[in-house]
């Protein structure tokens, strides 16, 4: 596999320095034979058929060989809501998720499982060769997700594309292609975008008509959320703040107080600095993984509500869940598992400026 130049740039970009400044070592950098493995709770949340490493390796091989389209079960992990809990006919909205570069896709099963089972949103985690999206401008995985959904949740009509870190950059490209290939934003099969510790990069041109790069500012029918964490030392915050102007005007912006970069998923990042370099050194967390995951999933669901697409109908009474965070700040209150607090607290977060 050829290392995408965009990924090398993304990996070595300075977090706080001038935009476009890179470490000189990027010129000698080659893609290592490495991926961050999932932690036990991530494997527990993964469908049984995909818990074995060999199963994931077969999917990576299919992606490398270009045979993903031969079978919609290849190259993605499907999380399907329990039809005894959620009305299958009411599942109109799905989520396509791109994980971070060089992270085992099962490292995000904790998010996908919560989206499917707590919110009734069918979710597909894409699996790529070497766990890196080979292109930042491709709708192939959206087509594959739609094929798989047609088999297991045929009522799905629209999609939210979400991604973590470099996967978020690729997710933005997929969403943009869905928009430019449609007559209007309302007609697009993609109706929302969620960036987790990631940003829109306008220099990445995903427009087949050759216009300027991605810019979501003038699309009122398209809903966007950007979620960052206060202790994330991997995300280039200088670039994030500069590129926030390319989000839609009503974009939901959430800062997770006490969270970090790796805790957007559940994977072992202990070797990333030694293998990938000092830019991968993350900050320490002051909240639990469950608290951070809850805020992330709640934010994705908030975008789902804003799309105007009918939300899934629950057939059984939802279990009573105690809040997971003490309400000492707007951002952390948004992590409460109490659904009745979601709209108010996320609105507070939305109007709270990011001061980093």
What pLDDT, on a 0 to 100 scale, did the predictor assign at position 19?
Answer: 28
What pLDDT, on a 0 to 100 scale, did the predictor assign at position 5?
Answer: 54
The enclosing H or E element of 346 equals helix 342-350
For residues 22 and 19, give the distance between their C-alpha atoms in angstroms, rounded to a whole number. Answer: 9
CA dist list (Å): 34 to 90, 112, 132, 269: 40, 23, 11, 11
Buried b (16+ CB within 10 A) or exposed e, 48-68: eebbeeebbeebbebbeeeeb
State the CB neighbour count (10 A cutoff) for residue 253: 19
What pLDDT, on a 0 to 100 scale, did the predictor assign at position 184?
Answer: 64
Does the reported pTM lie above 0.75?
A: yes
| Residues belonging to the chain | 356
What pLDDT, on a 0 to 100 scale, did the predictor assign at position 208?
Answer: 56
User: Which DSSP letter does residue 276 get?
Assistant: H
What pLDDT, on a 0 to 100 scale, did the predictor assign at position 131?
Answer: 95
What pLDDT, on a 0 to 100 scale, did the predictor assign at position 177?
Answer: 85
Chunked mean pLDDT (size 10), the chain, 356 residues = 51 39 47 92 97 96 93 93 96 97 97 97 96 86 93 95 95 86 75 95 64 73 94 94 89 97 97 90 97 98 96 84 38 36 39 36
What pLDDT, on a 0 to 100 scale, did the predictor assign at position 150?
Answer: 94
What pLDDT, on a 0 to 100 scale, did the predictor assign at position 111?
Answer: 98
Strands 158-164, 190-196: pairing is: parallel
For residues 96 and 71, give the distance between their C-alpha atoms in angstroms, rounded to a whole number. Answer: 17
Q: How many helices (H) and strands (E) in the chain?
A: 11, 7
Contact 166, 134 (CB under 8 A): no
CA 58 to chain centre: 23
CA dist list (Å): 56 to 52, 72, 73, 81, 113: 7, 14, 12, 22, 17
For residues 269 and 281, give the distance between their C-alpha atoms in angstroms, rounded to a whole number. Answer: 9
Contact 280, 273 (CB under 8 A): yes
């Amino acid at each position: 596999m050829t290392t995408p130049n965009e990924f090398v740039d993304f990996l070595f970009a300075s977090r706080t320095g001038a935009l476009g400044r890179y470490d000189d070592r990027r010129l000698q950098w080659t893609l290592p034979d490495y991926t961050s493995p999932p932690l036990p709770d991530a494997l527990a949340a993964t469908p049984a058929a995909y818990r074995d490493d060999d199963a994931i390796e077969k999917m990576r091989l299919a992606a490398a060989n270009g045979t993903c389209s031969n079978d919609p079960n290849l190259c993605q992990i499907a999380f399907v809501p329990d039809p005894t809990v959620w009305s299958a006919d009411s599942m109109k909205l799905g989520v396509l998720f791109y994980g971070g570069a060089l992270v085992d896709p099962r490292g995000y099963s904790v998010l996908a499982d919560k989206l499917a089972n707590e919110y009734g949103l069918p979710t597909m985690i894409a699996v790529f060769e070497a766990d890196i999206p080979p292109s930042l401008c491709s709708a192939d995985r959206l087509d594959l997700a739609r094929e798989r959904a047609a088999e297991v949740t045929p009522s799905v009509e629209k999609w939210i594309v979400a991604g973590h870190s470099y996967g978020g950059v690729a997710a933005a490209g997929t969403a943009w292609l869905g928009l430019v290939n449609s007559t209007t934003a309302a007609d697009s099969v993609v109706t929302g975008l969620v960036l987790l510790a990631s940003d829109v990069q306008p220099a990445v041109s995903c427009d087949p008509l050759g216009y300027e790069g991605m810019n979501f500012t003038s699309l009122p029918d398209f809903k966007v959320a950007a979620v960052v964490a206060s202790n994330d030392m991997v995300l280039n915050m200088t670039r994030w703040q500069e590129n926030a102007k390319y989000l839609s005007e009503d974009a939901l912006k959430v800062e997770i107080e006490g969270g970090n970069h790796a805790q957007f998923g559940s994977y072992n990042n202990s070797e990333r600095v030694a293998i990938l370099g000092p830019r991968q050194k993350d900050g320490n967390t002051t909240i639990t993984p469950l608290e951070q995951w809850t805020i992330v999933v709640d934010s994705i669901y908030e975008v789902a509500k804003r799309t105007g697409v009918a939300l899934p109908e629950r057939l059984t009474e939802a279990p009573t869940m105690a809040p997971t965070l003490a309400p000492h700040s707007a951002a952390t209150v948004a992590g409460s598992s109490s659904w009745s607090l979601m709209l108010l607290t996320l609105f507070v977060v939305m109007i709270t400026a990011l001061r980093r």
